[in-house]
Amino acid sequence: MSFLNAAINNVKDEFLKEQLQDRVDIIGHKIKFMDRVPLIVLNSDNEVNPLLNELLTIAGGDVVAAPVLARVLIYQDQLQGMTGLMGAVPALLEKEWPAVEFSRLYLMDTLNGDFKDPQYLVSILEDLAEILYPGYFVFGTEGKNWMSFGV
């Protein structure tokens, strides 16, 4: 059982628990037969940021060790929001990275929620699913929690 399922199972409100599980199941069902997306999350120092790895795996990602292996690149830094990353990221990119070549670059805002709160975790999962599979998911948080970043 994943940490996300464990968090959902601890919800006392049965209706809320069922809603959260349904949201997770919808994502799982839609991506069941899709290829996993090789990706990496970096911070503003171009260092691997493992904060989201478990949720990324649930959302259909295949977390890789280096940007040269990733078709999707997410920048997320707990010390800088999306605005700060917009100024920092262009200087960090290498044109030979597949994510740069295919314009699959994303910025995520600082994650200020409680990582023990299942509602917050499911919301992040939905954001990640929308990033990994654009066109298959639309949860309406692009521009608020995350954004596509063109170079």
The domain that holds 80 is classified in CATH as: 3.40.50.1980
User: What's the length of the chain?
Assistant: 151
User: What is the side-by-side order of every strand in the sheet holding 37-42?
Assistant: 61-63, 37-42, 72-76, 105-108, 146-148
Give residue 43's domain range.
3-148
Confidence of residue 73 (pLDDT cuts 50, 70, 90): very high
Position 1 pLDDT exceeds 60: no
Q: How many CB atoms lie within 10 A of CB 43?
A: 18
Average pLDDT over residues 98-111: 96
> What's this model's pTM, rounded to 2 decimal places?
0.94
Q: What is the total count of domains within the chain?
A: 1
Alpha carbons 71 and 100: distance in angstroms, whole number? 8
Token readout for 21 is 């599980």
Using a pLDDT cut of 90, give the percent of the chain over it. Answer: 92
pLDDT tens column, 119-133 = 999 999 999 999 999
The predicted-structure confidence for 13-53, as pLDDT tens digits, reads as follows 999 999 999 999 999 999 999 999 999 999 999 999 999 99
Mean pLDDT, the chain, integer: 95
Instruction: Count the neighbouring beta carbons within 10 Å of the beta carbon of residue 19.
Output: 15
C-alpha 102/C-alpha 4 separation (Å) is 31
